[in-house]
Structure 1
Amino acid sequence: MSAESLVAQYNSWLLNVAAVTPCTDNKIVDVVRQRILEEPDVHSFLHNDAFPLISSGLQDKADLHRTLQHLACAFQTLEQAALHLYFTPWRKEFHTIKTYSGYYVHILEAALPQEAIFQALEKLNYKPEEDEASLKIWDLPAPPTLAKAALGFLAARVECNILADLVSCSGATLVNGTDLIQERRSWRGEDACMERLQKLVLGPKAVPVTKSSTAVDSVNGASNGEEVFYQPQFCDHCHEPWHMHVNGCRRMVIDHHAHIDPDKPGDDRCHTQAAHVKFAMHDCVFVEKSLEQCCTQCHMFHSSFCSTVKGCREKGHRVTQMTSSEKIQAAMEEQARKHQLHCCLQPGHMPHYRCSHCRTLHYINCQELLQCRYKGHNASMIMLERDQQLWLQRSLTDLTLLCRNVPAQSHSGFE
């Protein structure tokens, strides 16, 4: 079912509703749930800001399940507000919301920060008064706008219930709000997301062991047979420290400034420097099309006149000028990681999504992107226009220009 069909079905329900109450029709709720499970970007079509609002409500909260229940109640209240305006636009008492009593305090403020509440109510044209003691509607939205807003709040409520189910099945206290939202947006279907969250919880950073493990006894002082969690010092597979890994996988590494003799196994530096983290290019490199400096502590390449480098030096970081071979190697690695523009991006379009698996940038509503997600690829939305411009610039940058000061014969690696 398309997002448009979902709106049509909700409008059909509005025509037959007997009372001005939030939707509890199991058929409608089940359709909404199934649709957003298959494609979370339905929230974007409804313009309900579901994930940003939920994220703001989950921030710094330890009990995610309870918080999500509060958020579901908040979105139900917002849906109720939209339906009041839809069915009874002449009732002036619904055109003003007091911020110091009633549902606002006991339900909305209990779940969301003030800025998020204002953002949600703005979709119904509520504007805060100067003293912020109340929000008022001066221009009533059209009925279709109110109906779509009500459906958006219903979808956000259902989303909260989906997330609460995921938390219940994945080990609630071990999953934080950021991970929960990120995995929910990246994986299609409840089972796939739940499996990913469980792996996240029980990944290498939290290995279950029992009392018999001397490592746990020494680190955590365990004195009973209960299962506990600890972080081992080294990976069992590659024998490198865990901080050298990302999402359980060892980082591909390049050591730009360490010179270790492999024939000297007793060299103390081997364990700490043999697996340097991958260096990334700072935004300044693509803006200035210059590659000159390297900050060892930040693992970042910079342009000639990047202002960030000054802060690095003030912190005592080691910032060095890159050699010709280092520039070439860094540019070749970036070339391998470079995202390409999909054919859906026409001149003048900004990329709205990127698939990190295919390394491709997509325009909004691209069907190829849907195929990526069905395959389990990590396709994420590029929210800010500034970031969209930067990703576009990255994809169009001629990386050989980053080595323009390198002798011509050294460029053979790009061929």
Structure 2
Amino acid sequence: MCAGSALRQEHGQRYRQEYRRCLERELRRGRPGPCSDPSFGQRLRQQLRREPALLGTLQEDGPALLARGLRGRPDPVPALHGLACAFQLLELAAANLYLCPWRREFRTVQTFSGAYVHLLRPALPEADLLRSFGRLGYEQHDRHRLTISQLPPMPELVAAACGFFACQLECEILAELVQRLRPRRLRPEELLEARRVAGDADTCVEMLQQLGTQRQADADCGDDVDLYLETPASPEDTRGEHTAPPALWRDPGSPWDVPGRGWDRCGDGECGQELLPSTGNPELDTSSSRLFLEQELSGAEDSPLTIPQEAPALPCYQLHSCLRPGSLPSYCCRTCQQLHASACAAGQLCRSQHHGQELRGERQQRLWLQRTAVDMLLADTAGPWA
């Protein structure tokens, strides 16, 4: 083993241990769930910026998952947002199993549920999803369910959760690089290859800038091959594009940014955080079990969380029947508490008679889709599927 590889292994082990301590510390504070320590996230992010090979140390197939998730996408930024959300759900599944292995509802994943259909499948190929859940002990029970017969060892669950967290951070780093190179649009293959070769994120940007200049010079000399898309011809061509680096779990004004709303609490000796729970479970106490995918936005980092006796009543949104799997909403009706597609007749009626919000950018649309999928999952736990 070369010195660089040995050092990465040492770094990887240190980050896994620190990640585990973060999970357990938040559990003691009553906030079970994935890593929510911003200082740890920032340290790991900075290390990944300098050393992208660390991703493969923390998540062996992480680079391959990113490559397959970005394959065939003309604009990598929306795909990176979708991938980061998918990795966040996978991290949540691993953290739930590590922190609350006794929760039987965590042992089944419904592959026809809103989160699986709308967030996981559009981001990653099905084979990659099955392999990723397989690391957590899930096996395909039938075409509608993944189930666990035997949990993996606890260190493996922590390593998987930390690896999925690192994949989220790498998605953010890549999206940041693309934004720095605007208005040119990189093809995903170029971006990943430059990231692998250059290493440091700043060096990667410089390499791609030089490559873009050379390509443009070659094009000006009559070469008809240009790996970059030039500045859009009109303002309409940029509609819906992102203009700032993503901050997937801290987004003021997003559907998750609700005052007082944070990681779920623990009640009656059980952890309330859950992902894709099995439905129709008579032992699932939905009165003390709420799922939120956003980080704690209002709690102090270093002081224990005071656990309220009653969670505040929050609106639960639903997807209108006009939305097909993989499609994005364009309107949120706050009166009906439903999301609609752009051409939906019921949505047009809501626009004229109800209070609501136009969802203009893809990032905002995906965040609302994510939040609504969670609301629908929570509603499903109250009774069997219709």
Which of 189, 194, 209 aligns to 1:183? It is 194
Displacement after TM superposition at 1:145 (Å): 0.9
Which of 51, 71, 79 aligns to 2:63? It is 51
Pick closer, same or farther for the CA change 1:117–1:171 going to 2, 3 Å.
Answer: same
Which of 11, 14, 33 aligns to 2:20? It is 11
Displacement after TM superposition at 1:172 (Å): 6.3
- 1-structure distance, mates of 2:50, 2:205: 14
Q: Tell me, what secondary structure is at the counterpart of 1:23?
A: coil
The two structures have a TM-score, normalised by structure 2, of 0.52
- Which residue number corresponds to residue 169 of structure 1? 180
Matched, 1:195 2:192: no
Q: Tell me, what secondary structure is at the counterpart of 2:122?
A: helix
Q: Which has the higher contact order (CA 8 A, sep 6+)?
A: 2
Q: Tell me, what secondary structure is at the counterpart of 1:202?
A: helix
Matches within 5 A, 1:304-315: none
- Which residue number corresponds to residue 23 of structure 1? 35
Pick closer, same or farther for the CA change 1:45–1:192 going to 2, 3 Å.
Answer: same
Matches within 5 A, 1:2-401: 2-17=11-26, 18=29, 19-129=31-141, 131-171=142-182, 174-203=185-214, 205-207=215-217, 230-233=219-222
- For residues 378-400 of structure 1, the C-alpha deviation after alignment (integer angstroms, 9 at most, x for no partner) is xxxxxxxxxxxxxxxxxxxxxxx
Displacement after TM superposition at 1:175 (Å): 0.9
- 2-structure distance, mates of 1:133, 1:199: 49
Q: Give the root-mean-square deviation of aligned CA atoms.
A: 2.4
- 2-structure distance, mates of 1:189, 1:108: 29
Q: Is the 8 A contact 1:62 1:173 kept in 2?
A: no
- 2-structure distance, mates of 1:44, 1:6: 13
- For residues 318-355 of structure 1, the C-alpha deviation after alignment (integer angstroms, 9 at most, x for no partner) is xxxxxxxxxxxxxxxxxxxxxxxxxxxxxxxxxxxxxx
Q: Is the 8 A contact 2:86 2:119 kept in 1?
A: yes
Q: Is the 8 A contact 1:57 1:113 kept in 2?
A: yes
- 2-structure distance, mates of 1:198, 1:132: 46
- 2-structure distance, mates of 1:189, 1:20: 34
Displacement after TM superposition at 1:151 (Å): 0.5
Pick closer, same or farther for the CA change 1:172–1:54 going to 2, 3 Å.
Answer: farther
Displacement after TM superposition at 1:60 (Å): 0.9
User: Which letter does structure 2 place at the counterpart of 1:98?
Assistant: Q
Unaligned stretches of 5+ in structure 1? Answer: 209-229, 235-241, 244-415
- 1-structure distance, mates of 2:113, 2:216: 44
- 1-structure distance, mates of 2:71, 2:24: 38
Identity over aligned pairs, percent: 35
- 1-structure distance, mates of 2:108, 2:220: 53
Q: Tell me, what secondary structure is at the counterpart of 1:149?
A: helix
Q: Is the 8 A contact 1:97 1:136 kept in 2?
A: yes
Greater Rg by CA: 1
Q: Is the 8 A contact 1:65 1:172 kept in 2?
A: no
Q: Is the 8 A contact 2:59 2:164 kept in 1?
A: no
Aligned residues: 215
- For residues 186-239 of structure 1, the C-alpha deviation after alignment (integer angstroms, 9 at most, x for no partner) is 222221111112223332x3239xxxxxxxxxxxxxxxxxxxxx45237xxxxx
The two structures have a TM-score, normalised by structure 1, of 0.49
- For residues 146-182 of structure 1, the C-alpha deviation after alignment (integer angstroms, 9 at most, x for no partner) is 1111100000000000000011111365311111111
- 1-structure distance, mates of 2:59, 2:168: 14
Q: Is the 8 A contact 2:84 2:171 kept in 1?
A: yes
Q: Tell me, what secondary structure is at the counterpart of 1:135?
A: strand
Q: Segments of 4+ in structure 1 off by > 4 A?
A: none
Displacement after TM superposition at 1:141 (Å): 1.1
- 1-structure distance, mates of 2:114, 2:55: 28
Q: Is the 8 A contact 1:22 1:83 kept in 2?
A: yes
